[in-house]
Amino acid sequence: MAKTSPAQFVQEVRREAAKVTWPSRKETGISTAMVFVMVILASVFFLVVDQILAFGVKLIFGLGG
């Protein structure tokens, strides 16, 4: 692996940073909303699955009230 000087490293970092494209404010808002929707859907799904499994365990082993 070739050694690079600190100055060359900084130049390369700046060159690469110039290539970065940031999402617009609208894209960021939509992505954030989609993450919240998916988190809610996943939490509801796991709540339902947990309740079904808990019911099954109580039914099989006669545990709980």
CA–CA separation, 38 and 45 (whole Å)? 10
pLDDT at 65 over 70: no
Domain boundaries, the chain: 25-65
Q: Six-digit token pair at 21? A: 């494209």
3-class secondary structure, 40: helix
Q: 0.85 cut: is pTM over it?
A: no
Pairwise CA distance, residues 18 & 11, whole Å: 11
pLDDT tens across 18-57, in order? Answer: 999 999 999 999 999 999 999 999 999 999 999 999 999 8
Q: What is the pLDDT of residue 53?
A: 95
